[in-house]
Structure 1
């Protein structure tokens, strides 16, 4: 199948993150097996989803080294979006291919799969690897499972190209994403007896304001990196719940906050400032109202480490040489690139399509972008032939 045919096949699988991706993964596994390529599947804890990792060995059978082509198989929901066509049926119009996941990022996967026969026919001195993950859209949950399996196998790679939509530009950095759930526990009382209670909502509000104060500090004082569209670390509280009645002092309040840190800024240090405020200021004040008051903070698994590729890394130099892109592009959204980097595999982001088309109704990818990606991956494979 060519790239367009593969993309039609992949889009037809509704791999919204709440669903299983096994149908799509198994179709890819079977297609690779028919070409003599074995795949390793690593499953999510509940078993309903899987990653796929496959190696196209070098001409001498070597499987170590080489380059990983990485993409995620899950997509975001279409609920409430007004589409002009069926989001799970590839539709062509005016040089564009419409469908959920066309840009983010089944287009890249389709191109890689379409080129497998060419890759296999090429006498490569180094292997080429395919890495397709689950649950990237809900916090990059699948890639760590796959990377741990690679570590156990002792498989090493020289670099990774994550094919998120960049318009085929080379993106060398992105922010980290860190998400926390906070539960504030006070003491309920009738609102006419306010001094006998401990108002969890009000103390949660103080902590939320502290998060905002830190956000304002980063905005006004930095550090800054002007290569990002938002050049500083951001923070915010985006979800809150608490209270049962207007005449009852609430004994519980729960909220979630996130921060997206610039590469080089320690997430632990940022979170440490929040926890220091809780221990040194907020809890002592709460316990003057109620000695059993407490605050619980839970780090959510949907944490994405930042990425900052080195210009000295072989994969960065290779991507720049193959694309001719010498600019410094950095993005605020997260990818699995930081996870590969933390596992000792240098990574860059370079893929077809544009992030502006992702996640929206009538998501599309330009056919010209698929063609550019094909040319890029052909040159990449050719570079492995020495």
Structure 2
């Protein structure tokens, strides 16, 4: 579009407005289109239905907002177009429409999710994960008095975690921006026993707890830790080699949205992101940077929906957006 002369741009703007009208993206005189034209801007006129637009009616608006004598009045939203073109030198046109579905969502107060993932993320949950090893004493399952089943003991601990996870769900803050809204706890791995007729010598399970900002995972798990310690004493009383060992695997802090965050504003400018604030339920390193005093934001290609799977992938279009982001970043930091 940068190579088009003014006449070609006028024709193209009229074509785009008519095409949007035919597709139901606009009605009557709603919607407007603009294009960069040298240092000035061509924009559709105010109050003219798309079906009646001609190339000659497009209005050339100078950087100071002035127009040629006798020109039609530019769209009432010409300042929005001019501001976008001034702020984003990498784009050459702005299209503003009133599509039916977007209008319905707006009237209902429902957000429109991003169609790509190169957007600013200003918050994430923290994660604490633990490996629990329950040791017992092997014996034939017909001679339970001679052994200690690690599996049976581990099930009791896991049942307590299930109850905790259900309570956390019930107590979630309904105003939380996260989905799921509250802390979540899941047991991801369980391994124990050697045969159906042998009391298990060992059972190992691993669980994680994901917490929104403001919740202390260690405090949430205090009762579980106490229960594990009590069971350790109980099992050792039955067999000295038995017991319970809880090992912390990770303790990643949460990332809280920063009011008027400098990093978020910068990432939004680089990504062309003017959508609502976003938080994610997964954990990353942003909380650690924030804890060290840095203004922090997450922004990158790909989606958690495709992560940690055998066919994990990132769409090529997302990588292209990521490359464009880095190019704008390099250009911005070069001056």
The alignment's TM-score, normalised by the length of structure 2, stands at: 0.57
The SS at the match of 1:333 is coil
Deviation, structure 1 residue 220: 1.1
CA RMSD of aligned residues (A): 2.9
Q: Is residue 2:255 matched to residue 1:300?
A: no
Q: Is residue 2:278 matched to residue 1:329?
A: yes
The SS at the match of 1:191 is coil
- Looking at structure 1, the residues matched to 154 and 312 of structure 2 have their Cα atoms a distance apart, in angstroms, of 40
Q: Is residue 2:301 matched to residue 1:347?
A: no
Q: Which has the higher strand share?
A: 1
The SS at the match of 1:241 is strand
> Which segment is superposed worse, 339-348 or 329-338?
339-348
Deviation, structure 1 residue 237: 1.4
Which of the numbers 199, 206, 209 marks the counterpart of 2:159?
209
Deviation, structure 1 residue 372: 4.2
The 1:239–1:325 alpha-carbon spacing in structure 2 relative to 1, beyond 3 Å, is same
Unaligned runs of 5+ in 1: 1-164
Q: Tell me which of the two structures has the higher relative contact order, counting C-alpha pairs closer than 8 angstroms and 6 or more residues apart.
A: 1
Which of the numbers 119, 133, 138 marks the counterpart of 1:188?
138
Q: What is the aligned partner in structure 2 of residue 319 from structure 1?
A: 267
Q: Is residue 2:157 matched to residue 1:178?
A: no
Deviation, structure 1 residue 294: 1.5
- Looking at structure 2, the residues matched to 354 and 251 of structure 1 have their Cα atoms a distance apart, in angstroms, of 41
Deviation, structure 1 residue 357: 4.4
- Looking at structure 2, the residues matched to 177 and 382 of structure 1 have their Cα atoms a distance apart, in angstroms, of 36
Q: What is the aligned partner in structure 2 of residue 233 from structure 1?
A: 183
Deviation, structure 1 residue 329: 0.9
Deviation, structure 1 residue 179: 1.9
Unaligned runs of 5+ in 2: 1-114
- Looking at structure 2, the residues matched to 273 and 233 of structure 1 have their Cα atoms a distance apart, in angstroms, of 16
Q: What is the aligned partner in structure 2 of residue 9 from structure 1?
A: none
- Looking at structure 1, the residues matched to 127 and 326 of structure 2 have their Cα atoms a distance apart, in angstroms, of 29
Contact kept in structure 1, 2:125 and 2:211, CA below 8 Å: yes
Which of the numbers 200, 214, 221 marks the counterpart of 2:171?
221
Moved over 6 A (4+): none
- Looking at structure 1, the residues matched to 160 and 319 of structure 2 have their Cα atoms a distance apart, in angstroms, of 46
- Looking at structure 2, the residues matched to 214 and 288 of structure 1 have their Cα atoms a distance apart, in angstroms, of 27
Greater Rg, structure 1 or structure 2? Answer: 2
